[in-house]
Structure 1
Amino acid sequence: MTTFQLPQLFAAPKPIIGMLHIPPLPGAPQFGGDVAAIRDHVLRDADALSAGGVHGLMLENFGDTPFYPDSAPPHTIAHMTSLAMEVRRESNLPLGINVLRNDGRSALAIAHAVGAQFIRVNVLCGARVTDQGIIQGIAHDLLRDRAALGAQHIRIFADVNVKHSAALAPRSLSDEVADTLLRGGGDALIVSGTATGTATDLAEIQQARAAAHGAPVLVGSGVSAESIGSMAQHADGFIVGTAVKRDGIVSNPIDSARVAALLDGLS
C-alpha cells in the first residue's frame, strides 16, 4: 500500500489544486490560430489561481475536444510541454499534468521534462466506456516508464469511476479502488461526479476513502464554496475548475475572488 500523503507535495493539510484549462491547441478542431493567446490565457489563469491562494496547479488540454482516446499527437505534447515550462517559470506551486483523454505516458514525459510533481490518469486500471469508445487501463506501461525514467517522485493521481464514462460491467467502487492502488500503483485517488462541474456524490467519497486504507482521496469535480467545508470532513484534497471560473462558466477565465471564497469555505 502506498505511503504517499498530499502534504508531502502541497503546503496544506487538505490542498486545493486549481485547473489550468488550455484553450484548443494547434491541430484541434476549434483552435483559434493564435498560440501566443493560448499562452497568455494559461498564464493569466495561473496568476489568478495563485493570487486566490490555491496550493497547486494542474495543466490540461481541456479545449482539444473531441479527445484522442489514448495517445495524443506529437504536436499536442510539444505545445503542452512548452506551456508547462512557462507555468513553471511563473509559479512555484506544485504542478500536475493531464493529457486527455488517457495519455498518462505523455503526461509523465512532460512532467519529467519540466519538473512537474504529479500527473492525472483517467483510466489507470480496467476499462471504461466513454465518448471516445472503450478506454483501456495503462498501468502496465506507465509504471514501467516511470521506473525507466527514475521518476518515482512524480506521483500518479488516478481516477476511479471517472466522469464522462461508464463501467463495462457492474463492479464495486471498493474493488476498483483496491485494484487502482494495489495492482495499478496509483499514489492518490480522484472521485468525481458524472461530468465536468457536476457535484461528487458524498457517499462515493466515503466509500473510496474507506477502501483506500489511508491513501489520499481527492474530490475531482463539483466543489463549491458552499460545499467544500462539509466535503473536507471526508476528502483529503480538491481539484477545482468550473467553480472558480468567472460566473461559474467553465470556458471563462479564472476569477481570483471566487478562488478566495473557496479557500474561505475550506477554513
Structure 2
Amino acid sequence: MLKEVIGVIHLPRLPSVYSSVDLNSIIDYAVREARLLEELGYSGVIVENYGDKPYSKRVRDPVTLCSMTSIVREVVKSTSLKIGVNLLRNSGREAYSVAVASGAKFIRVNALVETIISDSGVIEPEASRLRPLRINYPDIEIYADILVKHASSLRLALSILEAENSVTSKGSLEDYYRELVGDYVERGGASALVVTGLRTGEPPPIRLLELTKKYSPIPVLAGSGVTLENIDKVARIVDGVIVGSYIKKQGKAGNPTDPDRAKQLILKIRELTQLTHT
C-alpha cells in the first residue's frame, strides 16, 4: 500500500550571478503548484531546479542557492505538505543546507554511495560530504536514487564484468545488487530508496522494483514514469511514488501541473488503496 504520493515542482531557471530572473514570480509559481497538489490530496512535494539545464555536478552559485532557499521556505510556510529539495545534478550537501534553513523535511540525492557517469561528468558519492551536516542537523531525511536515471553506475558496470567472470566472481548479479542496496542503508544512511527508469518519464522495470523491495529494510519509492496506466502494478510493490512528468500539462516534464491529470492519478491511487483494504 502506498504511504507517500509525492509530486514534483519543476522550477524554471533560477536567478544566478550571471542572469537576473524575477524571484518573486518563481516563488508565486512554486506556492501555487504546492497548494494545488495539497488540495488534491498529495502527501508531499519535491522542489527541484529542473530549469537549470544543463546541470553542473554541484550548484555553487550563491544567488541560486539563496534563491532556492527562499522558494522552498515560502512553500513550507504556505502548505502542510512534506516538502523535499532536489538540487540537480548531485548537490546533496547544498540541498541539505537549503532544507535546514527553509524547514524542508527531506532531500533527494542522485548519487549517495555510487559513482555515476552522466552528462554532467563523473559524479562521486555524496555520503561523506553529508556526514557533518547529518550529525549537527539530524532531522532531515535522505531519499536516495539507486541506479539513477540519465546516468550509468560505474559500480554496477564493474559488478557485471565481475559476475560474468567465473574466476573472480563472488556471486550473481543479484548478489551484487543486494550488496549495493545494503550499502545505501548501512553506509549511506539512506532514509528511503528511489528507483527510476533510464530517463525522465520512463518507468523503472518491475523486476528492479521487486528486487529493491526484496532487499531493502527502508521504504522504496518509484521515482519516474508513474502513470495512470501502470500505477496499479507499481503500487503493489513500492511504499510510495514520486510523480513529475505525468501530472504536468501534456504529460511533459517542466510544464505546470495539470489539475485534471493530477486529480485522475490521485483518485486512482485512492481506489487502489480502498481495494487493498477490502
Asked whether the 8 Å contact 2:50–2:254 carries over to 1, the reply is no
Map 1:2-81 → 2, pairs under 5 A = 13-27=2-16, 33-81=21-69
Is 1:220 aligned with 2:223? yes
Q: Does the 8 Å contact 1:102/1:123 carry over to 2?
A: yes
Q: Which runs of 5+ in 2 are unaligned?
A: 160-175, 272-278
The equivalent position to 2:82 in structure 1, one of 74, 94, 100, is 94
Cα distance in 1 for residues equivalent to 2:199 and 2:127: 23
CA contact (8 A) 1:24 1:32 kept: no
Q: Secondary structure at the match of 1:36?
A: helix
- Once the two structures are superposed, what CA deviation does each residue of 1:205-255 show, in whole Å capped at 9, x if it has no partner? 01111111x210000000011211221111000000111001211122101
5+ long unaligned stretches in structure 1: 1-11
| 2:205 alignment partner in structure 1 | 201
> Aligned partners of 1:185 and 1:251: how far apart in 2?
30
- Equivalent positions of 1:170-209 (< 5 A) are 170-171=158-159, 172-209=176-213
Q: Which amino acid aligns with 1:221?
A: S
Count of residues paired in the alignment: 252
2:144 counterpart of 1:155: no
Distance 2:200 2:20 in 1: 23
Query: Who is 1:3 aligned against?
Result: none
CA distance in 2, matches of 1:33, 1:113: 22
In structure 2, distance between residues paired with 1:246 and 1:183 = 39
Distance in structure 1 (CA, Å) of the matches to 2:132 and 2:2: 30
TM-score between the two structures when normalised by the length of structure 2:
0.86
Q: CA RMSD in A?
A: 1.7
For 1:74, the aligned partner's letter is: P
Q: 1:28 to 1:221 in 2, by over 3 A?
A: farther
Distance in 1 of aligned mates of 2:105 and 2:254: 26
Distance in 1 between residues matched to 2:63 and 2:222, nearest whole Å: 31
- In structure 1, C-alpha distance between the alignment counterparts of 2:47 and 2:245, rounded to whole Å: 14
- Of Structure 1 and Structure 2, which has the larger fraction of its residues in helix? 2
Cα distance, 1:184 vs structure 2: 1.0
Letter in 1 for 2:121: G
Give 1:32 deviation, angstroms: 7.7
Q: Which residue of 2 aligns with 1:165?
A: 151
1:127 match: 115
Please give the per-residue CA displacement for 1:80-119, whole angstroms capped at 9, x wherever unaligned.
0000111012101010111111111111111111211111
What secondary structure, in the 3-state scheme, does the structure 1 residue paired with 2:232 have?
helix
CA contact (8 A) 2:17 2:61 kept: no
User: For the Cα contact (< 8 Å) 1:60–1:97, is it kept in 2?
Assistant: yes
Q: Partners in 1 of 2:21 and 2:112 — Cα distance? A: 33
Q: Which moved more, 1:116-125 or 1:244-253?
A: 244-253
User: 1:19 is aligned with what amino acid?
Assistant: V
Name the structure 2 match of 1:145.
133
Q: Report what 2:274 is aligned to.
A: none
Q: Report % sequence identity.
A: 37
> Conserved in 1, the CA contact under 8 Å of 2:204 and 2:225?
yes
CA contact (8 A) 1:58 1:96 kept: yes
Task: Supply the distance in 1 between the matched residues of 2:193 and 2:17 (Cα, whole angstroms).
Answer: 29
Distance 1:255 1:49 in 2: 10
Is residue 136 from structure 1 mapped to residue 140 from structure 2 by the alignment? no
Deviation at 1:13, TM superposition (A): 4.8
Partner Cα distance (1:220, 1:239) in 2: 5
Who wins on radius of gyration, i.e. which is larger?
2
